[in-house]
Amino acid sequence: MKVINIFSKHSKKIISYFVFILLLLSFCSPTFGGSPYSWYTFNIPPFGSESGEGIGYELANAYIESGFKNNIILTNAARWKNDMQDSKNIKFCSTGSWKLPETSHRVYSNSIINTVDYGVAVRPELYKQLSNNGKKRIVSILDVIKATKSAGNLLILDGRPLFGKMSEIIEKRKREQGTNVSYMTASEGPISMLKMASIPNRNIDSVLIFPEEFHIFTQEQPNHTLEYMMLLEGNNFAPIRASCPNTKAGRMIISEINNMLDEGLRGKAFKLFLDALPNLAEIREQAIFNQLCIKDNSCSDPLTDLISGNDN
C-alpha cells in the first residue's frame, strides 16, 4: 500500500507540473507559437517573385522569425484584391498591401513604405511623339490614352488599384470610342506586360507601371527598346501596410508588426525599395518625401479616405 501511495503522490505532482506548463504556454508570447494565417505576398517584383525573393519575402520572413510561422503564398493582384474584400476569407494575412474599401473585416498596420505613383513605359515611336523627340520626360496620362486611338493598346495590370486624378481620368477616358485600354492578369505581373510590349508584332504601345518595375525589367532585359516616362498626374501615393483578419489573433499580430516596424524593420524595407528604384533624382526624392508622414502617423490612404470624405 505504501508503494501505491508513494506512486500516487508522484503521479499527482507530475500531472500538476504538466498542467502548469500547459497553462504557462497558453499565456506566453506568440514568439513560442505559429500564426493561424498564411502570408500573402505579391507576385510583382520587387515585392515578390517565383524565385522567392523580394521585399514581401523579407517582411514575411521577419514576421515568421518573430513567431508568426505559416506558409508564404505568392499571389497576383486580382486574387489579392478579391480575397482582401471577401469578408468570409479569414485564412490569410498580407505582408504588405494597400488599404482597400470594403475591408472593415480586416485590420491594418502602420505604414511600412509609401509607394511612388505610376509612370508609363512606351515603345520608341510613341516615345518620340510624347516626349517631343526626347525633350520631355513628363507626359499626361490623357496624351497616353489619346495615342491609343492611332497606336497600340495601353496595358494595365488587372486588379491593381489606381490613385487620385489618374484613376478618374482612366475610368472616364477608357470608355471613349476608339480608345484602346486593356487589362491583363499576368504570371509575372508588370514584368510579363513589359515583355509583351517589347515584342514588335504585339498591339501594345504603352504599359502603366511603377518606376521600380521598369528598373527591374531593364536589369533582366538590358537590350529592350522601351522608354520610361513620368506622368503629370502621378503625384499620389498609397501606404503599404500589413493586414490581417480583424480577430483577436489578427489584432495581436498587427500590434507586434507595428513594434517590429518601429524597431528597424521599416527602415530595412525602405532601403530595399530605394535600391529597386531607377536612378532618377525626381523619383528617388519623391520616395524619400513620401515617407515623412509616417513620423506623425498622418499618411493618407487614397482608396478609402476619398470614400470617407464623400460620406461626410
- Residues 246-294 have pLDDT tens digits of 999 999 999 999 999 999 999 999 999 999 998 888 899 989 999 999 8
Average pLDDT, stretch 65-77?
A: 92
Domain ranges of the chain: 1-31, 33-116+238-311, 119-231
Residue 197 CA to residue 226 CA, distance in Å, equals 8
Q: Do domains 33-116+238-311 and 119-231 have the same CATH topology?
A: yes
Between 33 and 59, name the one with better pLDDT: 59
Average pLDDT, stretch 238-242?
A: 92
Q: Structurally, what CATH architecture does the domain formed by 119-231 represent?
A: 3-Layer(aba) Sandwich (3.40)
Residue 306 has pLDDT above 70, yes or no: no
Q: What is the CATH number of domain 33-116+238-311?
A: 3.40.190.10
Residue 82 CA to residue 75 CA, distance in Å, equals 11
Of 112, 127, 131, give the one whose Cα is nearest residue 59.
112
- The grid coordinates of residue 135 equal 525633350
Task: Give the model's pLDDT for residue 33.
Answer: 56
Q: Residue written as cell 469578408?
A: 87
Residue 302 has pLDDT above 80, yes or no: yes
Residue 206 burial class via C-beta count within 10 angstroms: exposed 0-12, middle 13-18, buried 19 and up: buried
Residue 156 has pLDDT above 80, yes or no: yes
Residue 135 has pLDDT above 60, yes or no: yes
Helix or strand (DSSP H, E) at 106: strand 106-108
Of 197, 195, 56, give the one whose Cα is nearest residue 113.
56
**Which amino acid type is present at position 84?**
M
pTM, two decimals, is 0.79
Pairing of strands 138-139, 227-231: parallel
